[in-house]
Structure 1
């Protein structure tokens, strides 16, 4: 009698080495997925647009830094690197003097420094506008990176001043503290930082849109129909008052620091403040979707 025997396949457990390899591959896949999800969340966080109405603190920091930097440069060479109205008018005045002058056919030092300030300010505005358009001018990533570039410009000027050992304070209008070739680098870096700051604040689109000059702010403040409503909050008026106050506080602090530690150290502190402002932008709440 023949007995047919059936083949029975029995699955044996994997060897220890194979089991470890299998677990390792599963862990790797899970880890890669987790890392990818984390990177996606971080990217979404940094590219999110900030809420302009909740950006008061970093913008007041911008206003304060305008006061500090203008205190440094005006005390040394009697020009402003934030407000370009005076520098713009100074150049046609110089041309008129050249045309009508006798035996004086060269730009004076202060006129060349004013031209340097105007050109580098426009350069700061240009790179701020182009990079801001590419990254999103209200995104956390751009507001941090742009402020970080401002800090680098400020620190570069501070380092050059430290190496050159220039005086911090001018004796008189015809005897500026910065008078050599490096003075144009000081002026250029500071003016570029102001131009970059100005266009960044403008694109955020708040009542702090003019963080580099006060002429428009004064006009809007004094003409505000709710200027004298002292018993209630008025956002536009209060922000304009805060802008003026931060300008004045920065100018006062900058001048006091100049007397105590000199322009190089003052700008070093300013670069540190700019870096803090840049980090501050990363924690501004995201703008709520209107959809």
Structure 2
């Protein structure tokens, strides 16, 4: 973020279930980082994976954010409204020789342990309903310095291979959509969970291909169950009870290592957020989050 660029942050949930405590931490950290920098905070629904979407989940997420005082600036963007923009960009990358069609199945790729071997690079397959689209990564090394996690480096061709930007079922891949939307919305700072840290080099590669500057990144640690699994909608992590918003917000600030004073417990949402915005310091966070399970409002 340059001295002349306003701070623009965002929270981009997937409407596949209720907002749980782990998602609240990501939203709260993103919100506080924006407010601490007197910036803009956006909310975007990443709903492209239609089979995963749950009816009513998007509105429930927005209602929960509002109950916790996390109100976005401006309208909420919805990715499914932007399909034509993604399709045009995918075609442009193909026309430029930066992407190609691929018909490899999961069973074809299973022996390669998640690293694409370049099978379809030179096959020059035509467009077809069952063909994925992959972006070339030849010789690409991406590195950045995360604001909390520190330096991170990935040799894309060796560690990932040419990655998918449109799936075989026609769904636009997260990696491309998130980059295109962040560019379109002028996002300067991304605050999100550390489970997305190893996705960042792929996104940096796309920023380079699209000729746009990348944002700064802050990947916060995850809250995990006692079994070591991160909280997620897939695991059925409990949704948040908005009638307990004040108490839960205080717990969330403590879980983010922001050291809220005891006098803030029981204070209004507005008072807690005002204090937290002034005192926000992400460097208090450890690289990995260890929060006593019994203190969290989760099942």
Name the TM-score, length of structure 2 as normaliser. 0.22
User: Which structure would you say has the larger RCO, counting Cα contacts within 8 Å and 6 or more residues apart?
Assistant: 1
- The structure with the larger Rg is 1
Name the TM-score, length of structure 1 as normaliser. 0.23
Higher strand share: 2
Higher helix share: 1
